[in-house]
């Protein structure tokens, strides 16, 4: 399929002018030298889980990079000519790396765009978004990968990296050209919100991926068991008269794929894990030394199936919200390391998609602006130290995907978030910068908020209130 057929027409010419093997996989050279400006962040609590740093200190950025940092920096004051930001003893950490975001562009810009998602990300302290390939058209060839990278760079907000599809058109039948897609900038491969259901197709994908050390990310749901389901299967689904999705649909898919990992040796990642049995399967695979990892999302440890209430469509998700025992198991999985990372699972839906009978409503919630305060609940409730928690949304996802962000280090990207972990506020969906407002957390009291966000040394958000 040619680029001209697949790219949105207004960007086809731009793609033809820019395309080539030297398209950046990560930060562009022009971004690195875009500015020689220097900024000093003083009176900060430097928090870098990658190096174990958690101490009072200061940090200096120069252009798009971190020039220096440490407890003794600027002990004699900041030299003239350097912009100074007083952090007020709040936490200065690597910007959050959100490894599961649906940007809806191209194809559904009425729900979200790369521009609006970037603004929402900045307000939430997210400096890197990794977007799913389930757009229209599907990100299944190099032209679309390059298009998303170019649009992300043009938007000028958070860094944007695309996943590419495992199978053409997300149809689960024929593999994509993963080598070419990776060369164009795809950081990993997934069929997004669909599972790769055919075991032979998945085996071939894992075999190919193992040859080039690529990561395969799976939506863990056996589709024939989940077909027609709308919420977690159990007493509540029966009472509401809704077809349920059994927890077994998740663990069956995970355990099948783990067997295929044994055959191929490929790196395999389970997305938005939601059940106790699923976490146990991943835990056992890790204990056997298999290259299996997983992430979850705040709704799976912050909510359970009762959030559906009386057919509340904002709580309709895929996978669905599970039973309380599953929610508790997700918390334990994060605590003991069975769950490697936390992502927002940002899935914007417009009112026309949500204000429908529960069975017809689209699944998904937004999460870029609530990721930080919702994960901080795990810290405030005593489950994790602040450093362990921040690692799950910075260095852990960056390492999984081979990204250069997620850490505070000399010469590294100046992607930063300044946040107050204790600041109380109430989530108000009406004030979100995302185009869509579909959040079941609307009205929830939380603690912790991003105060300032910088991407490539450039301030992209400052909280005024």
Question: What band does 21 get if pLDDT is binned at 50, 70 and 90?
Answer: very low
For residue 240, the SS3 value is helix
**345 among known catalytic residues:** yes
pLDDT value, residue 172:
97
d(CA 160, CA 113): 12
Considering the entire predicted model, what is its pTM? Answer: 0.92
Mean pLDDT of all residues belonging to the chain: 93
Catalytic residue among 48, 257, 295, 345: 345
Per-residue pLDDT band for 30 (boundaries 50, 70, 90) equals very low
Reply yes or no on whether the pLDDT at 232 is more than 50: yes
Tens digit of pLDDT for each residue in 347-404? 999 999 999 999 999 999 999 999 999 999 999 999 999 999 999 999 999 999 999 9
Helix/strand/coil for 260:
helix
The pLDDT tens digits of the residues spanning 273-286 come to 999 999 999 999 99
Q: How far apart are CA 426 and CA 410, in angstroms?
A: 36
The DSSP H or E segment spanning 391 is helix 386-391
pLDDT score at 5: 42
Domains of the chain: 95-406 (3.20.20.140)
Q: Which bin fits 234, alpha (ψ -120 to 50), beta or left (φ > 0)? A: left
Q: Could you give the percent of the chain with pLDDT greater than 90?
A: 91
Res. 13 pLDDT band, cuts 50 70 90: very low
Cα separation, 97 vs 391, in Å, equals: 10
């Amino acid at each position: 399929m040619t680029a001209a057929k697949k790219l949105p027409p207004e960007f086809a010419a731009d793609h033809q002018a820019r395309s080539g093997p030297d398209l950046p996989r990560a930060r562009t050279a022009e971004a690195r030298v875009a500015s020689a400006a220097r900024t000093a962040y003083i009176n900060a609590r430097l928090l870098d889980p990658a190096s174990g740093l958690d101490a009072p200190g200061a940090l200096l950025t120069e252009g798009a990079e971190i020039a220096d940092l440490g407890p003794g920096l600027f002990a004699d004051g900041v030299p003239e000519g350097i912009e100074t930001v007083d952090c007020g003893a709040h936490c200065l950490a690597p910007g959050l790396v959100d490894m599961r975001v649906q940007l809806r562009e191209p194809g559904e810009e009425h729900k979200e765009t790369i521009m609006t998602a970037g603004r929402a990300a900045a307000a939430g302290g997210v400096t890197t978004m990794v977007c799913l390939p389930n757009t229209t058209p599907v990100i299944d060839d190099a032209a679309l990968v390059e298009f998303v990278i170019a649009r992300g760079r043009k938007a000028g907000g958070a860094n944007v990296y695309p996943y590419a599809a495992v199978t053409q058109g997300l149809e689960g039948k024929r593999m994509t050209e993963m080598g070419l897609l990776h060369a164009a900038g795809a950081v990993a491969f997934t069929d997004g919100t669909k599972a790769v259901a055919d075991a032979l197709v998945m085996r071939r994908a894992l075999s190919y991926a193992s040859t080039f050390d690529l990561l395969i990310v799976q939506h863990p749901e056996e589709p024939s068991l989940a077909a027609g389901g709308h919420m977690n299967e159990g007493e509540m689904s029966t009472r509401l008269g809704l077809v349920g999705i059994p927890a077994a649909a998740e663990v069956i898919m995970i355990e099948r794929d783990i067997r295929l990992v044994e055959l191929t040796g490929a790196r395999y990642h389970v997305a938005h894990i939601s059940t106790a049995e699923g976490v146990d399967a991943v835990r056992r695979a890790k204990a056997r030394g298999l290259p299996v990892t997983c992430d979850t999302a705040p709704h799976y440890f912050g909510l359970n199936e009762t959030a559906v209430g009386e057919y509340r469509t904002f709580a309709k998700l895929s996978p669905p919200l599970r039973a309380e025992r599953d929610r508790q198991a997700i918390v334990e999985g994060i605590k003991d390391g069975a769950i490697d990372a936390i992502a927002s699972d940002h899935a914007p839906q417009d009112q026309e998609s949500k204000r429908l009978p529960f069975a017809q409503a689209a699944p998904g919630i937004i999460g870029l602006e609530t990721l930080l305060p919702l994960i901080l609940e795990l810290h405030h409730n005593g489950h994790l130290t602040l450093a362990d928690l921040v690692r799950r949304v910075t260095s852990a996802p960056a390492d999984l995907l081979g990204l250069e962000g997620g850490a505070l280090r000399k010469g590294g990207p100046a992607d930063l978030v300044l946040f107050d972990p204790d600041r109380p506020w109430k989530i108000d969906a009406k004030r979100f910068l995302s185009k869509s407002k579909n959040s079941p957390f609307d009205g929830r009291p939380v603690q912790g908020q991003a105060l300032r966000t910088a991407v490539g040394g450039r301030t992209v958000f400052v909280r005024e209130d």
